[in-house]
Structure 1
Amino acid sequence: MNIQRRQFIKTCGLATLATQFPLLTAQSQTSPNTMIKPPRLQVGDTVGLIAPAGIFEPQYIEVVQQYLGKLGLKAKLGKHILDRYGYLAGKDTDRACDVNDMFADSTVKAILAMRGGWGCNRILALLNYQLIRSHAKIIMGYSDITSLLLAINARSRIMTFHGPVATSTWTPFMLDYLKRILFDAEAVKLQNTNSPEGRVQTINPGKAKGKLVGGNLSVLSAMVGSPYLPAWQNRILFVEDTNEDIYRVDRMLTQLKNAGILHRISGFIFGQCTDCQSDNEPSLTLMQVLQDHLLPLGIPVWYGAMIGHIQDKFILPIGAEVEIDANLGTIQLLEAAVS
């Protein structure tokens, strides 16, 4: 046992260690290849709040408690939610412990990350994926939380949710999709608002079906080569990013192409690349970069979906079967994402 693992067991204590060997449940007896849909939210449920990545201002806890209260939900704080370790919200072992504990806690019905930043990649090897699968529940976030969503989807085979973090602005647009997808188990159509922020730019027209997967482009590209990514064949890939120079977007898409990922997918959605501009001259435009990489794929592609570091954002179930329309810029869920 390496030093990091020994420290993890010491940090979590014997109570958490006992959860490493859960009794078999109906979920844990399913085939390891079966994608599990977590139970839907209900009024009165408790949501676990964790800080698996960067630090945040403590007053946001009260803000998100008010948001959750309006939905009829209660909040439970992770033991280490207010920890600090440089730019991280605590030591790796402690942040991982909070994730594992929230999945093991039967009183917690869903898990919400406080914010992104950086740090989730550091704890992936410390998560108990068997425990998570046998206690499947909703986990949601975006940006750096992409690491957790993809790893848990790939290793625990449960649907995860790309959506707001606790420090997001919970707009009526987002709340509508949250209620319909996570409470009512609707197979909704995700469609942009009729606003400048919702303008769709079709890069390659057409429709395609496949399982939805994706997240923050920077985080995703940093995970390439790790054992924490899902399969790519016939997937619908979505990405988003913020504050990246155009040449960096070019570099990251090149990495996905060279890794053989782009040639396996059946559709591509680039959400919002907020404040992605070039500080250098001369430069390609963002659209030139996207066309260079994505047009040759011959699959439906569009830019501008309401995904990313913006106020109005979709709730996207990672692992759900969808049909996309690049002409209209829509994502139609073909199944409920919760049970």
Structure 2
Amino acid sequence: MTASRRHILTGAAGAAAVLAGALPSAQAQTTPPSRRASPEAAPEPLRARRLKPGDTIGLVSPANATYEREPLEIAVESLEALGFKVRLGANVRGRYGQFGGSDLQRAGDINDFFADDEVAGLLALTGGSGCNRIVDKLNYELIRRKPKFFGGFSDLTSLVNAIHKQTGLITFHCPVAGSEWNEFSIQQFRAVAMDGQAALLQNPQGERGAHVVQREDRISTLRPGVARGPLVGGNLAVLSSLAGSPYFPDTRGAILFLEEVNEYIYRVDRMLSTLRLCGALDQLAGVVLGKFTQCGPGDGNFGTLTLDEVFDDYFLPLNVPVYRGAMIGHIKRKFTVPVGQPAEMDARAGTLKLLTPAVV
């Protein structure tokens, strides 16, 4: 849904450096040790108030424009069906080229909603491209003073990481308002953002359909082990475009989660090399790979590396727990992942456990 979304190299992302615990000794002989905590304790993340039915959600369009009326209507009705009131940003119907308004208009809507005490949280209407253009135009001091729920995915990777890096506020890599709000996605969103659960993020188990084994949403363990750390990451292309900026997430001791869509494998390889060369992979606690949807070799590229080989090349030498296939990315059913939230991953089980609620 948001395949065209990364053109401008600016911007920021973030996460506190909460480092990892250790594996029980019984597991140490069969799995690599999990990452140990740093002697310097990280500051406690800033948490927004949990969303509840009747709250007002500010709907913003920080990336692509929405060209037809119906997608906006469906997005509003979806949020209302979840029990929220919806307030449209002043420029949510705007357009400047492919963007939902000028840079100042799109950033202004976000700043205005953070300033508005009647608005409980902000959700992006859609992804696309353009968030990198406004990441340095947000009022981070205001956001720090008035913390609220902020969520989206894909190109919103820029903003959810930037806000956390600049303010310490836990943000949310979650469905945008225009996503398909199916039963799975709703349950995940409610558990994390509304009920304040220290939720277990785990793929559906045993969905075999007509097959003898489960074929969809499987987990693949690249390196077993257990690790703890703050969650940072999102879309690989957008995240790598932030490398070298003052807003790139602090990945030391972090659990890095990544997803991608509609990219040739050689481009995935190049983006991962960017993360490696800028040092972002050096001190990770662990890696969770989501869905890499329609990421293939491209026509005629018969000699390309496979995704398996690319992931092995970049992540196995790190000697940290890694698994692939988490319900994160450009898919219909998706997790709500709190950026900056301390979590524990188990690469053999394919699970992410939030260590505390991500909202208060």
Match of 1:271 in 2: 290
Residue deviations 1:92-112 (CA, integer Å, cap 9, x gap): 010010010011111110101
Measured after TM superposition, the shift of residue 156 of structure 1 is 1.4
Contact 2:79–2:177, Cα closer than 8 Å, also in 1: no
- Work out which structure has the larger RCO, using CA pairs closer than 8 Å and 6 or more positions apart in sequence: 2
Preserved contact between residue 60 and residue 166 of structure 1 (Cα < 8 Å): no
1:193: Cα distance to partner? 1.3
Unaligned runs of 5+ residues in structure 1 are 1-31
Q: Quick one: distance in 2 between partners of 1:278 and 1:204? A: 25
Match of 2:122 in 1: 111
CA distance in 2, matches of 1:33, 1:53: 31
Question: Of 271, 295, 302, which residue of structure 2 is paired with 1:281?
Answer: 302
Q: Does 1:250 align with 2:260?
A: no
Displacement of 1:333 after TM fit? Answer: 0.5
Question: Over aligned residues, Cα RMSD in angstroms?
Answer: 1.1
| Corresponding residue SS for 2:292 | strand
CA distance in 1, matches of 2:185, 2:165: 26
Match for 1:233: what amino acid? Answer: R
- Does the residue aligned with 1:220 lie in a helix, a strand or coil? helix
TM-score (norm 2): 0.84
The runs of at least 4 aligned residues of structure 1 exceeding 4 Å deviation read none
Maintained 8 Å contact 2:103/2:134: yes
Distance (Å, rounded) in 1 between the aligned partners of 2:356 and 2:133: 33
* Aligned with 1:72 (options 69, 79, 83): 83
Whether 1:40 and 2:59 are equivalent positions in the alignment is no
Distance 2:310 2:250 in 1: 25
Aligned length: 308
Displacement of 1:46: 0.3
| Secondary structure in 1 matching 2:216 | helix
Match of 1:301 among 312, 322, 347: 322
Q: Judge conservation of contact 2:49–2:148 (CA < 8 Å) in 1.
A: yes
* Preserved CA contact (<8 Å) 2:257 2:287: yes
TM-score, normalization: structure 1? 0.89
Matched letter for residue 56 of structure 2: T
- Aligned-partner residue type, residue 315 of structure 1: T
The equivalent residue for 2:217 is 198
* Alpha-carbon displacement from aligned partner over 1:85-135 (angstroms, at most 9, x marks no partner): 111111101001001001111111010101111000000111110001111
> Which structure shows the bigger proportion of residues in helix conformation?
1
Q: Given the alignment, which residue of 165, 169, 181 partners 2:176?
A: 165
Q: 2:61 aligns with which of 31, 36, 51?
A: 51
Shift of 1:212: 0.6
Q: Does 1:233 align with 2:249?
A: no
CA distance in 1, matches of 2:257, 2:274: 15
Task: Provide the C-alpha distance between the structure 2 equivalents of 1:149 and 1:310, rounded to a whole number of angstroms.
Answer: 19
> What SS does the aligned partner of 1:126 have?
coil
Report % sequence identity: 46
Q: Is the 8 A contact 1:213 1:236 kept in 2?
A: yes
1:224 paired with 2:243, answer yes
Q: Confirm or deny: 8 A CA contact 1:205 1:301 kept in the other structure.
A: yes
